[in-house]
Amino acid sequence: MTDGELQEQFQRCEVWQDSEQWDLLAMAYYNRGYELNASVCFQRADACRLKESAAVLALDAVESV
């Protein structure tokens, strides 16, 4: 990916909020030597996973009532 493509993908990931896409983008940044950008993407992937887990737990709690 070019720098422009990485930036475009970052913008798409902000809309999608998908942990897998953030992880893939993080690896693309890391492979290009952009370690700080990769770290940010990994952190956003983790945040998405936390939100996904919280949503599942909330749904389980509602269903068990």
Q: What is the pLDDT of residue 38?
A: 98
The whole-model pTM stands at: 0.87
Q: What is the pLDDT of residue 30?
A: 98
Contact 52, 44 (CB under 8 A): no
* Strand, helix or coil for residue 38: helix
Instruction: List, run by run, the mean pLDDT of 10-residue segments along the chain (65 residues).
Output: 97 98 98 98 97 83 76
Q: What is the pLDDT of residue 40?
A: 98
Q: What is the pLDDT of residue 39?
A: 98
Contact 45, 22 (CB under 8 A): yes
